[in-house]
Protein backbone atom coordinates (compact mmCIF):
# COMPACT_ATOMS: atom_id res chain seq x y z
CA UNK A 1 0.00 0.00 0.00
CA UNK A 2 1.21 3.48 -0.93
CA UNK A 3 1.42 6.02 1.93
CA UNK A 4 -1.05 8.89 1.76
CA UNK A 5 1.70 11.51 1.94
CA UNK A 6 2.99 10.26 -1.40
CA UNK A 7 -0.33 11.21 -3.02
CA UNK A 8 0.07 14.72 -1.62
CA UNK A 9 3.61 14.95 -3.00
CA UNK A 10 2.46 13.86 -6.46
CA UNK A 11 -0.48 16.28 -6.34
CA UNK A 12 1.93 19.05 -5.33
CA UNK A 13 4.15 18.27 -8.30
CA UNK A 14 1.22 18.51 -10.70
CA UNK A 15 -0.06 21.74 -9.14
CA UNK A 16 3.43 23.22 -9.29
CA UNK A 17 3.79 22.30 -12.97
CA UNK A 18 0.39 23.79 -13.77
CA UNK A 19 1.23 27.04 -12.00
CA UNK A 20 4.61 27.27 -13.73
CA UNK A 21 2.98 26.88 -17.15
CA UNK A 22 0.26 29.41 -16.29
CA UNK A 23 2.75 31.96 -14.97
CA UNK A 24 5.00 31.54 -18.01
CA UNK A 25 2.08 32.10 -20.35
CA UNK A 26 0.97 35.23 -18.45
CA UNK A 27 4.50 36.66 -18.45
CA UNK A 28 4.83 36.02 -22.18
CA UNK A 29 1.56 37.88 -22.84
CA UNK A 30 2.67 40.84 -20.70
CA UNK A 31 6.07 40.93 -22.40
CA UNK A 32 4.48 40.85 -25.85
CA UNK A 33 2.17 43.74 -24.92
CA UNK A 34 5.11 45.79 -23.64
CA UNK A 35 7.15 45.11 -26.79
CA UNK A 36 4.21 46.16 -28.97
CA UNK A 37 3.80 49.37 -26.97
CA UNK A 38 7.51 50.18 -27.27
CA UNK A 39 7.30 49.51 -31.00
CA UNK A 40 4.41 51.94 -31.37
CA UNK A 41 6.36 54.65 -29.52
CA UNK A 42 9.37 54.00 -31.75
CA UNK A 43 7.26 54.23 -34.90
CA UNK A 44 5.76 57.52 -33.69
CA UNK A 45 9.26 58.89 -33.13
CA UNK A 46 10.33 57.84 -36.60
CA UNK A 47 7.25 59.43 -38.14
CA UNK A 48 7.83 62.64 -36.19
CA UNK A 49 11.48 62.78 -37.28
CA UNK A 50 10.47 62.13 -40.90
CA UNK A 51 7.92 64.95 -40.74
CA UNK A 52 10.51 67.31 -39.23
CA UNK A 53 13.00 66.51 -42.00
CA UNK A 54 10.30 66.97 -44.63
CA UNK A 55 9.35 70.38 -43.20
CA UNK A 56 13.00 71.41 -43.03
CA UNK A 57 13.53 70.35 -46.65
CA UNK A 58 10.43 72.23 -47.79
CA UNK A 59 11.65 75.39 -46.04
CA UNK A 60 15.01 75.13 -47.79
CA UNK A 61 13.38 74.58 -51.18
CA UNK A 62 10.68 77.20 -50.63
**pLDDT of amino acid 62:** 64
Alpha-carbon distance of 49 to 61, in angstroms, equals 18
> Taking the model in full, what pTM does it have?
0.62
Reported confidence tier of residue 58, pLDDT bands at 50, 70, 90:
confident
Q: State mean pLDDT over 20-44.
A: 97
Reported confidence tier of residue 61, pLDDT bands at 50, 70, 90:
confident
Compute the CA torsion angle 26, 32, 34, 38 (nearest 10 deg): 180
Amino acid sequence: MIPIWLYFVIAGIFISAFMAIKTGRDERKAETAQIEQEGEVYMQRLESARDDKREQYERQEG
